[in-house]
Amino acid sequence: MRTRPIRLALQALALAGVASLLALLVWKLTHDPGGGVAAQLSQGKRPAAPNFNLPRLDGDGTVELAAIKKPRVVDFFASWCYACPYESKRLEKYSRQYGNEIAFVGVNTDDFSSEAKQYVRKYGLTYTIVREQGRKVLNTWGGLPIPRIFFIDRNGKVIGQMQAEEDLPRFLKQLAANKA
């Protein structure tokens, strides 16, 4: 007789676990960023670049993406990201080459300010770096994984995102030639 209450308790515990997982699934489905800009690009669309106004990492004011009136490259990165240093170094190199024609904006996301500043120093990044606390802006653009690099023409349309290594020089040439 004593095993019956234990069995009922275990069944109730299992049922509570299933209910919790179901609640988590419902929450995830209703709070998913939905792919944002990245999903629209994969559907062949060229969406307007979502605006953001974020503080500069160096503390010198804010940067509003829509206020930049030339083609832009937006890179989402973090100090804890394994692949980010490689892309950051490439972006730094290209920002020196195309800096007069194209604005480069790095968005440090979901990171500690001190670690972000150390990252920027370590990799010698001189292009504009802004800081987002959390992932709200990142999720608007497509969410994780990072790095995520997007290319925006002078009219504010997102013309692509980096999918392969050769995309970076190809899109930069396109933006610089005013063909985008």
* pLDDT per residue as tens, the chain (180 positions): 567 878 877 787 878 777 676 665 544 443 444 579 999 998 999 999 999 999 999 999 999 999 999 999 999 999 999 999 999 999 999 999 998 999 999 999 989 999 999 999 999 999 999 999 989 999 999 998 999 999 999 999 999 999 998 999 999 999 999 755
- CATH code of 36-176, in short, is 3.40.30.10
Q: Where are the domains of the chain?
A: 1-31, 36-176
Q: Is 78 helix (H, G, I), strand (E, B) or coil?
A: coil
Side-chain half-sphere exposure of 89, counting CA atoms within 13 A:
5
- Name the pairing type of β-strands 62-64 and 53-55: antiparallel
What's the pLDDT at 27?
46
* Tokens encoding 106: 């790095």
- Name the pairing type of β-strands 103-109 and 72-77: parallel
What's the pLDDT at 6?
82
Residue 14: exposed, middle, or buried by beta-carbon count in 10 A (0-12, 13-18, 19+)? exposed
Residue from 98, 101, 100, 93 nearest 126 by CA: 93
Q: Which helix (H) or strand (E) holds 55?
A: strand 53-55
What's the pLDDT at 22?
66
